[in-house]
Structure 1
Amino acid sequence: MNYLDSFEVLSQCGLGAMLVTENNQILSVNEMGKNLLHCDENQLGANTLEAVTLLCEETDEIRYANIAFGEYLCRCATLNLPGQPPRTKIIVFRVATNDACHDMLISILNGISESVTLFDAAGRLYLLNDSAVNMDSLVTSDVLGQHVTEVYRMQDGQFHAIPQVIQEKRAKVNLRQYYTTCFGKNVDIVANVFPIVQNSQTLGAFSVMQDWSTTSELHKQIIDLQGKLLEQSTVTGAKEKSALTAKYQFRDIIHISPAMNRVVARSQQIACSDSSVMIYGETGTGKELLAQSIHNGSRRANGPFLAINCTAIPDNLLEGLLFGTERGAYTGAESRAGLFEQANGGTLLLDEINSMNILLQAKLLRVLQDGMIRRVGGVKEVHVDVRVLSNTNCPPYQAIEENKLRRDLFYRLGVININIPPLRDHKEDIPLLVKSFIQHFNKKLLKNVRNIDHATSELFNSYHWPGNIRELDHAIEHAMNLIPNDQSIITPDYIPEHILYLAAEFVFEGRETKGDLINLRGAKQNTERHELCKALLENGGNISKTARFFGISRQNLQYKMKRNGIDVQLLLDKR
């Protein structure tokens, strides 16, 4: 069977096929191909030419060629068949209108604020949009295909609406439901659940949900504001509610790992008390986020939350900031309340407490013992009601041994100790964190990025993350500033080079793909430009051939050329 016979078979299977030159000039098209392109090989309009160019582009990604409004094609494969003329290639393509429509609808779902989950007729989870992933803290790949009862455990004796809606083929609206996910997160929602019925057949059901805890918090703020306005209108000089509030709550801590589950559960338990808490964790693990969550989970949530970085303030100023000053205490000093007085009735966070001067730590100890403070230069003592939280980026007992933390102060500040593990010890949280950061920077940078690819995921899982979650956040922001607007998947090309340098050896070890090796060489030896120029010259400046040589897409190669300032024509002229 020669290639012309194969063209006829492909046509009968509903697949278009065309024989093209190395420069993507069409030599022959099968009958189905002519129908799909709305033309023949001798009558190619501008739109069709553009579509053919896209179909001929060699890439691992699915690219949609827009033939007409609402009509799309995509490439299936490149074939080599018997009898095929030399220096030609056969491109096979198919109708992809439904695929393109599906991807556009997914983008729409991921762009709305409501959480949407889709289930098949058997009640198995088929799709979650980004808002649902964020609300439920679920990694999509871990739960797809599982039955609704395996993913969501209803509380307070409630029923699962999805199976009932599928069975009864009747929608249920304004359902207030409280459930626990399979990873232990408690969620309070209001849901509208609808069946999907076509031609009397039930295909599944979907649920549109709103996080009721956020709504309840908003209602609470409105009530507080109304009360505040009423109080101000009826009582002259009424004391205003403090604006010094904590931003984060426990639901903002993104995690599914057992290690972080233990940290959050323990923190939620101790939030209700007034005992001092010392939080230990490496830089970037989220110590202040946890401290703010503890405050917002306590009876002091309506009181002020103040934080001070003990490293950033000189010793001679830190004492006055903490305890306040009286006029004349030193040159330029004014009567001013310190942080302890400002935090009265609330919480004070001492960030990097191990950086505080040992002598000042002794004065701090007295405040913790009897709740009395005296302003610098003052004689009167004032009682304050403040819960003190502290954190340190080195183990407390190490700080004590190095004489950076008084042992007696540690016993006062560390009534309860919480250790936040570094990111390398709970890497199963990385996919969820990445998804959350992508959603955040999509809004901030006006991008439309969906996720990271498998190679980038491998890099992230191999990297040591000395900067922890903050470093991961910055890596995603770095990538999303560099990624082209028409690309929706983050590849290693956009990851910070220091991460590639330290992680690539482990990821690419034993691989033979030149595309992977060029990433590694470029990160380690900065020879990417030399190798690109050499390969382009060897292939006569042909982009497609050079991309095949490296095992990468044309788009990827063109990006590398642009990044390295390579002009093919200038390169050939200098040869």
Structure 2
Amino acid sequence: MLADMDIEIYELLEKAFDEFKGALVVDRNSRIVLLTRGYAEILGVDRKEAIGKPVTEVIPHSRMSEVLKSGEPEIAQVWEVKGETAIISRVPIKRGEEVIGVVAFSVFRGMDEVRDFLGRLRYLDAELNYYRSEVEKLRGARFSLENILGISPAINRVKEQLACIAKNDSTLLLTGETGTGKELFAHALHLSSKRRFGHLIKVNCAAIPDELLESELFGYEEGAFTGARKGGKPGKFELANRGTLFLDEIGEMPARLQAKLLRVLQDGEIERIGGTEPLQVDVRIVAATNKNLAELVRHRQFREDLYYRLNVIELHIPPLRERMEDIPCLVVHFIRELNHRLGVKVKGITPEVEEVFQSYHWPGNVRELYNVLERTMNVIQRDVIGLADINWFLPRVLSSSGRQTSRSSNTLRNLEAKIIHRVLESCNGNKSRAAEILGIHRSTIYNKLKRNNG
């Protein structure tokens, strides 16, 4: 019975598994050749009597024979016998390709140990997630797809497209009006891509003077110019190596640098100012603009060849007026964020304020909505934002109401009247003062009220 395996091996196995609650070994004929004390106690059998018996005589529903036949291990299986539950692994013992036995064992002495182990795993998983988020912060990206809020079909469609685009390395051009959140989408793309463990480096091409932008992007060697740092300085392309470079306001890039950027996109090479050797860089480019680059190309203000290199994939971020159903959830999120930032306790907005927000065309988009709430919450003295708290904003809404096309004229007239009445109340009925606050002529107030009452 023991011809296929050395007696010494069994003795070593017995000593090794003696500390475990359950361990046994069967030979090629499914006969028990090793049984630990703990295992025997669970089964309620005498160890000496069990040795040499077919395993199914001692354990009627044993799966040891199945593992002998398949030669495949069964890891961490739940096993119950006589009211005891254990996590058992069954592993074939092989000599070459031949299965000559099976060892079954549990690394836990009982389910309490299993629960303790799972608790430690959950703690380690939480700790790992914490450190992963900290690393991501250090690497420059702070917002994931989950941070892009909204329930509208328009925003969900863009999020779905972004998730697909993140799977590849193609250059991406983000387009959209000012304040739509293009940088937020660049962050989300980076964190959804295989480059998420690299850096996300951001450059605003409109914010850096032309004479400094080249050194910021491409770096410089020591002595390249007066005032150059000793040892030189790496540029943004080098810092973004194996990561993502976000070029915001790309339409503002000077023509001279457009040519250098084109070379990077074509050859994957940069050259520091004052350098003599090209440097290979592995960078994904994400560019963003609120301008019509095709129009700039037609007016020779942007290189056509660079435009086509950047516009491999274009993702248009919709303006807020095309996703008005997202305003309520954005307001809730911004109020929560501003409460924390400003140390206030605003609970929300009144239905009248929500109606105003839904009727406004938001030329500054999500950023304008945030700014309106921030300004209001800086001076509010109550816990709910009402019309009286946004008096300063109402003239802006009133002056834009004539440009609305998405709501009925009756709804807009009612809103105008409501705003005028609200301002008149705050001025104790003084129409001249109300006209001054609203930025309209006094006669306009009479005409709008007359039309609404008529």
**What is the CA–CA distance in structure 2 between the aligned matches of 1:273 and 1:453, rounded to whole Å?**
45
Q: Equivalent residue of 1:336, what SS?
A: coil
Is it true that 1:291 corresponds to 2:186 in the alignment? yes
Q: How much has 1:463 moved relative to structure 2?
A: 1.2
Q: How much has 1:496 moved relative to structure 2?
A: 6.1
Residue 437 of structure 2 aligns with which residue? 526
Q: How much has 1:492 moved relative to structure 2?
A: 1.7
After TM superposition, the structure 1 = structure 2 runs for residues 440-459 of structure 1, keeping only pairs within 5 Å, are 440-459=337-356
Q: Equivalent residue of 1:493, what SS?
A: helix
Sequence identity (%): 42
- Say if 1:463 and 1:499, in contact at 8 Å, map to a contact too: no
- Residue of 245, 268, 277 corresponding to 2:163: 268
Q: Equivalent residue of 1:388, what SS?
A: strand
Q: Return closer, same or farther for 1:220/1:498 CA change in 2, 3 Å cut-off.
A: closer
What is the one-letter code of the residue matched to 2:376? A
CA deviation digits over 1:222-270, x for unaligned, max 9? 3798xx9xxxxxxxxxxxx993320110000011000111111100110
* Alignment gaps of 5+ in structure 1: 1-214, 229-240, 532-575
Q: Return closer, same or farther for 1:282/1:496 CA change in 2, 3 Å cut-off.
A: farther
Residue 475 of structure 1 aligns with which residue? 372
- Residue of 410, 426, 439 corresponding to 2:307: 410
TM-score (norm 1): 0.49
What is the one-letter code of the residue matched to 1:378? G
**What is the CA–CA distance in structure 1 between the aligned matches of 2:336 and 2:266, rounded to whole Å?**
46
What is the one-letter code of the residue matched to 2:211? N
Is it true that 1:494 corresponds to 2:389 in the alignment? yes
Q: How much has 1:218 moved relative to structure 2?
A: 5.5
What is the one-letter code of the residue matched to 1:508? L
After TM superposition, the structure 1 = structure 2 runs for residues 11-160 of structure 1, keeping only pairs within 5 Å, are none
Residue 398 of structure 1 aligns with which residue? 295
Q: Return closer, same or farther for 1:351/1:285 CA change in 2, 3 Å cut-off.
A: same
* Alignment gaps of 5+ in structure 2: 1-123, 402-411, 443-454
**What is the CA–CA distance in structure 1 between the aligned matches of 2:161 and 2:258, rounded to whole Å?**
27
Deviates more, 1:493-502 or 1:445-454: 493-502
Residue 348 of structure 1 aligns with which residue? 245
**What is the CA–CA distance in structure 2 between the aligned matches of 1:289 and 1:427, rounded to whole Å?**
19
RMSD of aligned residue pairs (Cα, Å): 2.8
Residue 324 of structure 1 aligns with which residue? 219
- Residue of 269, 275, 282 corresponding to 1:372: 269
Q: Return closer, same or farther for 1:255/1:519 CA change in 2, 3 Å cut-off.
A: farther
Is it true that 1:434 corresponds to 2:331 in the alignment? yes
CA deviation digits over 1:432-453, x for unaligned, max 9? 1001111111222222222111
Is it true that 1:254 corresponds to 2:161 in the alignment? no
- Say if 1:242 and 1:303, in contact at 8 Å, map to a contact too: no
| Greater relative contact order (Cα < 8 A, sep 6+) | 2
Which protein shows a greater Rg? 2
CA deviation digits over 1:269-290, x for unaligned, max 9? 1011110000001111000000
What is the one-letter code of the residue matched to 1:276? T
- Say if 2:182 and 2:288, in contact at 8 Å, map to a contact too: yes
What is the one-letter code of the residue matched to 2:332? K
Q: Return closer, same or farther for 1:499/1:305 CA change in 2, 3 Å cut-off.
A: farther
**What is the CA–CA distance in structure 2 between the aligned matches of 1:388 and 1:526, rounded to whole Å?**
47
Residue 219 of structure 1 aligns with which residue? 128
Q: Return closer, same or farther for 1:283/1:523 CA change in 2, 3 Å cut-off.
A: farther
Residue 258 of structure 2 aligns with which residue? 361
Q: Return closer, same or farther for 1:527/1:267 CA change in 2, 3 Å cut-off.
A: closer
What is the one-letter code of the residue matched to 1:311? A
**What is the CA–CA distance in structure 1 between the aligned matches of 2:419 and 2:170, rounded to whole Å?**
58
**What is the CA–CA distance in structure 2 between the aligned matches of 1:243 and 1:443, rounded to whole Å?**
22
Q: How much has 1:325 moved relative to structure 2?
A: 0.5
Is it true that 1:244 corresponds to 2:144 in the alignment? no
What is the one-letter code of the residue matched to 2:388? D
The structure richer in strand per residue is 1
Q: How much has 1:418 moved relative to structure 2?
A: 0.4
**What is the CA–CA distance in structure 1 between the aligned matches of 2:137 and 2:423, rounded to whole Å?**
55
CA deviation digits over 1:42-85, x for unaligned, max 9? xxxxxxxxxxxxxxxxxxxxxxxxxxxxxxxxxxxxxxxxxxxx
Q: How much has 1:425 moved relative to structure 2?
A: 1.1
What is the one-letter code of the residue matched to 2:131? I
- Say if 1:441 and 1:477, in contact at 8 Å, map to a contact too: yes
CA deviation digits over 1:448-472, x for unaligned, max 9? 2221112111111121211110010
CA deviation digits over 1:414-443, x for unaligned, max 9? 111000111111111111100111111122
Is it true that 1:388 corresponds to 2:295 in the alignment? no
Residue 508 of structure 1 aligns with which residue? 415
Residue 58 of structure 1 aligns with which residue? none
**What is the CA–CA distance in structure 2 between the aligned matches of 1:425 and 1:460, rounded to whole Å?**
13
What is the one-letter code of the residue matched to 1:364? L
CA deviation digits over 1:479-515, x for unaligned, max 9? 111211xx22101222262444433764533559944
- Say if 1:245 and 1:303, in contact at 8 Å, map to a contact too: no
**Corresponding pairs, count:** 299
